[in-house]
Structure 1
Amino acid sequence: MKIAILDDYARAALRLADWDGLGAVTVFDDTVTGDALRARLQPFEVLCLMRERTPLDAALIAALPNLRLVVTTGPRNASIDLEAARAAGVTVCGTESRKTTTSELATLMMLALNRRLLPEVAALHGTGWQVGLGRDVAGLTLGLIGLGNIGAQMVTIGKALGMGVVAWSPNLTDARCAALGVGRMETLPALMARADVVSVHMVLSDHTRGLVGQAAFDAARQGQVFINTSRGPLVDTGALLDGLRAGRPAMAGLDVFDTEPLPQDDPLRDADLIASGRLLLTPHLGYTTEATFRLFYTQTVEAIRAFQAGTPIREL
């Protein structure tokens, strides 16, 4: 079989799993689109996807007559047209996923921004020493937009750091908040007005796209740090940039973006906001750890072997 591993930016796939005996394996470490993508993928019978880095819509699936199997890392991938895949006779399988990596990164961002880590490092690497004062997180209020698995992990971390925790989401219940020992806010603006640090942990859907917009940032508490490690389109980027320039929120950390990789001319690459330490951008690191990728690629190989044996596993 001809197998393509897509978007392996870290060039980790061949190192982290045993691909021997599966067939001819080709690794691509960049992302292309349009005609270049169709031409690249047409020879392959198996595509191994890394999350949503390369979407597979109906038009692309129809343009790949040799395609028989798609394996995506993670247990779901909203960027694959599953109905089109089934209609084309293409099997789609997934992998399991680890649960703690994103909450760790959100915590790292929270601490780095509040303690002014990057401006102080820049000063030390220049000609200076201490140039400002950071803020303790102990005693602050952590506001969570979303209280699923990752949000629940953030509750544990926030409390361990001495923070009070409140939460809001469109369907959040009193019972869920009581079970985790957090306060439930009635509205998103109410949460923004209450929290010193806000962290987003929602699933992207038609209902949540643009969920955090101008009204939310207008309500932001003075000095607030805003963090999104979930999905870029949950947040209205223009409203966030306007808010940062107006001081609401005071700082932001973003690991996810509307377009990934982030274009060089994207408005988020605001030199003044970044240089001042008020905007921290990272290249979607929330899930990119050695242990997670080892799980992803090991189970990708398992899925290919199972398909070749006529017994597909973890079908989507």
Structure 2
Amino acid sequence: MRIFKVNWYPPQSEELERLYGKTVEFDIDPIPTDPGYTIARERSRAADALINCSATHLLPAEIDDFENVRIVVREGVGYDNLDLEGWGARGIPVCNVPDYGTTEVADHAIALMLALTRGTATYGDVLRSDPVGNWRFSAAPLVRRHKGATFGVIGLGRIGLAAARRAAAFDMRVVFYDPYLPNGTELSVGYERVHSLTDLMAMSDIVSVHTPLNDETRGFVGKAAFEAAKPGLVLVNTARGPIVDLDALYDALKDGRVAGAGLDVLPKEPADSDHPLVKAWTSRESWLDGRLILTPHAAFYSPAAMNDMQRKAVEVILAYTEEGRLTNCVNRQFLKSASPVRRAS
């Protein structure tokens, strides 16, 4: 079994070699720095399975180049950078790893909320510049009480639910918007349900984004959503950058309709330093002081999560190729006559 890992970023889990070194050969290709880079055909042709490690980079090759691949795995949760329909037309299942960093991302969403609404990031920043003159509790503009405040969740999947549970532990009222969950979900989780994004924005003090990126959700949190926002709203996004219209967010922050934002993801990554919002933040424009936090698409990360992510990606492949058991498949609607290939024993 030869597994080709493309768009790889370190560190590589040492556990993989220990667990699978005798049965799996890994071919690892780092994220290319040359925009015109393509994988050599002999490498892509030799692969039995393919893992795309990056959440944002496309495969540096055509689907037809992987003529012997029987399964594709996105080493992570999001899979918007893979051609689900194209692989499905060839009978190749595309899978993801939805359960490796659920707690990390939920923790990060709450951490971004707290950094803004308890002022922890702002206090440290201003004290560093003047530990005497800035020794004042009023330096952080968004500090508030969490008990009784409303925490709105867009997308109550694994991570959204984990974030909701954490918010509830702060005695916050939790509401959610997710049109794809069946009726009665609100009864089983004990949270309030709304049936439109504008309703969620209008009643929430904090809104945390946890929906996948697709054609429906691209730019979903945009001008209309921000116009409906409750005064003082804080937005948190740990899902995918393009879900939030960054131009609309800039306008909403600038005119005060949105009080603050914590963004782990951006429409363009690394950050577009020329975008007005990013530029205002890096230039420390006074109107944005204490109102914006950016982190580098790091919500998923912990050493333990990285190990889980890499191991579970291989487990998905072996479950299919050795047992015929397809797990975490995300392109079933496009899948045509997939057939697992068992390794010779």
- Give the TM interval when normalised to the shorter protein: 0.7 to 0.9
- In 2, Cα distance between the equivalents of 1:199 and 1:230? 9
- In 1, Cα distance between the equivalents of 2:40 and 2:135? 51
Aligned position for 1:17: 16
Aligned position for 1:116: 119
Which stretch shifts more, 138-147 or 223-232?
138-147
- In 2, Cα distance between the equivalents of 1:192 and 1:96? 27
Aligned position for 2:211: 202
Q: CA deviation at 1:73?
A: 1.7
Q: 1:61 aligns with which of 52, 63, 67?
A: 63
Secondary structure of the structure 2 residue equivalent to 1:17: helix
Contact 2:154–2:178 at 8 Å: present in 1 too?
yes
Q: CA deviation at 1:239?
A: 0.7
Question: What are the equivalent positions in structure 2 for 1:1-316 lying under 5 Å apart?
Answer: 4-9=4-9, 11-18=10-17, 20-21=21-22, 22-23=24-25, 25-28=27-30, 30-32=31-33, 34-36=35-37, 38-39=38-39, 43-44=43-44, 45-46=46-47, 47-56=50-59, 60-63=62-65, 70-74=72-76, 77-85=79-87, 92=94, 94-95=96-97, 97-98=99-100, 99-128=102-131, 129-131=134-136, 132-133=139-140, 134-171=143-180, 175-272=184-281, 275=284, 276-302=289-315, 314=326, 316=329
Structure 2 letter corresponding to 1:72: R
Contact 2:52–2:59 at 8 Å: present in 1 too?
no
Structure 2 letter corresponding to 1:107: I
Structure 1 letter corresponding to 2:303: E
Contact 2:13–2:306 at 8 Å: present in 1 too?
no
Structure 2 letter corresponding to 1:166: V
Q: CA deviation at 1:246?
A: 0.9
Secondary structure of the structure 1 residue equivalent to 2:147: coil
Structure 2 letter corresponding to 1:54: H
Unaligned runs of 5+ in 2: 330-345
- In 2, Cα distance between the equivalents of 1:86 and 1:145? 29
Q: CA deviation at 1:251?
A: 0.4
Secondary structure of the structure 2 residue equivalent to 1:262: coil
Secondary structure of the structure 1 residue equivalent to 2:164: helix
- In 1, Cα distance between the equivalents of 2:277 and 2:32? 20
Contact 2:118–2:144 at 8 Å: present in 1 too?
yes
Contact 1:42–1:65 at 8 Å: present in 2 too?
no
Contact 2:240–2:265 at 8 Å: present in 1 too?
yes
Sequence identity (%): 34
TM-score for both structures, normalised by structure 2: 0.76
- In 2, Cα distance between the equivalents of 1:255 and 1:109? 9
| 1:262-289 superposed Cα distances (whole Å, 9 cap, x missing partner) | 3443444233477313111112122222
Q: 1:176 to 1:120 in 2, by over 3 A?
A: same
Q: 1:282 to 1:238 in 2, by over 3 A?
A: same
CA-based RMSD of the aligned residues comes to 3.2
| 1:122-152 superposed Cα distances (whole Å, 9 cap, x missing partner) | 1222223434243232231111222233222
Q: 1:94 to 1:250 in 2, by over 3 A?
A: closer
Q: CA deviation at 1:178?
A: 2.9
Which stretch shifts more, 143-152 or 166-175?
166-175
Structure 2 letter corresponding to 1:112: A
Secondary structure of the structure 2 residue equivalent to 1:258: coil
Q: CA deviation at 1:304?
A: 6.0
Secondary structure of the structure 2 residue equivalent to 1:106: helix
Q: CA deviation at 1:243?
A: 0.5
Q: 1:245 to 1:151 in 2, by over 3 A?
A: same
